[in-house]
């Protein structure tokens, strides 16, 4: 952290009012928390919260005044999406801490693509199911529509929901994306990284970035946001 130009950081925060009406988690603290999560390979907001609580006596020396509850981190992470300038054709790979359908719709309308984790309480119904090869770990590949009154208004278009199961660990994850034009996109790339037992958004983003074939020429760039 000593190498970060903190004067410049605070000047930018002040210029854009990043800390206005902030009570519990300033921009600098959020940066430190997320940097800690990246450097220590945390996999979720719950994981980050548990690790910070375990090291509560050392947080002050890191510039963090108190452990940040995961709900506070989730709110801060979602607000980060408001600062993004969507790039048409770009992919945004994010953990479910960024799952906000109104903001995801903004990316969708701008011609950007996203991949994120679905929450267990998501209210949606199946519109169509594509054929899958279950031996690859893909349990289902569905086109869905949201049911909730507000979520349906915030994201009225269809989404793609893909469920994976790792035969070795018996762990199941569900992914959401607005990429529906490439039939094998999710199964090829998300499935590969899932079978390697690495569930971080950064790993998936790096996999997308490193893969260069004709099917992905429409992808301009890949950005990944972490913290579930």
pLDDT in tens, 108-138: 999 998 888 888 889 999 999 988 888 878 8
Q: What's the mean pLDDT in 197-215?
A: 50
Which of 6-10, 134-138, 216-220 is least confident?
A: 216-220
Quick check: 214 pLDDT over 50? no
Under DSSP, is residue 205 helix (H, G, I), strand (E, B) or coil? helix
Which of 25-39, 93-107, 143-157, 214-228 is least confident?
A: 214-228
The pLDDT value recorded for residue 184 is 65
d(CA 19, CA 27): 6
Under DSSP, is residue 11 helix (H, G, I), strand (E, B) or coil? helix
Which of 16-25, 26-35, 97-106, 152-161 is least confident?
A: 16-25
Determine what percent of the chain is predicted with pLDDT higher than 70: 78
Distances (CA, A) of 40 to 34, 52, 103: 10, 11, 28
Smallest Cα–Cα separation from 97: which of 157, 33, 155, 142?
Answer: 33
d(CA 6, CA 177): 36
Q: pLDDT tens-digit profile of 58-79?
A: 888 878 877 777 778 777 766 7
The pLDDT value recorded for residue 157 is 96
Tokens of 31: 């940066």
Q: What's the mean pLDDT in 82-102?
A: 83
The pLDDT value recorded for residue 178 is 92
91 phi and psi, to 5 degrees? -110, 135
Is the pTM higher than 0.85?
Answer: no
Q: What's the mean pLDDT in 13-33?
A: 84
Quick check: 100 pLDDT over 70? yes
Q: pLDDT tens-digit profile of 42-58?
A: 767 778 888 888 888 88
The pLDDT value recorded for residue 16 is 81
- At 216, the pLDDT band (50, 70, 90 cuts) reads very low
Quick check: 228 pLDDT over 80? no
pLDDT, averaged across the chain? 78
Q: What's the mean pLDDT in 212-216?
A: 42
């Amino acid at each position: 952290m000593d190498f970060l130009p903190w004067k410049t950081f605070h000047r930018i925060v002040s210029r854009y009012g990043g800390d206005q009406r902030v009570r519990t988690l300033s921009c600098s603290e959020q940066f430190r928390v997320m940097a800690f999560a990246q450097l220590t390979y945390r996999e979720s907001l719950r994981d980050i919260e548990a690790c910070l609580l375990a090291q509560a006596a050392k947080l002050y020396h890191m510039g963090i005044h108190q452990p940040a509850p995961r709900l506070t981190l989730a709110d801060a992470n979602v607000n980060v999406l408001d600062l993004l300038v969507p790039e048409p054709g770009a992919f945004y790979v994010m953990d479910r801490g960024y799952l906000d359908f109104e903001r995801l719709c903004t990316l969708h309308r701008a011609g950007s693509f996203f991949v994120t984790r679905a929450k267990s309480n998501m209210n949606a119904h199946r519109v169509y199911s594509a054929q899958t090869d279950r031996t690859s770990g893909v349990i289902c590949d569905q086109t869905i529509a949201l049911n909730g009154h507000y979520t349906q208004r915030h994201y009225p278009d269809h989404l793609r929901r893909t469920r994976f199961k790792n035969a070795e660990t018996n762990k199941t994850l569900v992914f959401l994306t607005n990429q529906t034009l490439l039939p094998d996109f999710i199964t090829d790339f998300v499935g590969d990284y899932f079978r390697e037992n690495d569930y971080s958004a950064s790993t998936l983003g790096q996999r997308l970035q490193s893969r260069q074939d004709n099917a992905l020429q429409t992808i301009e760039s890949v950005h990944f946001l972490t913290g579930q």
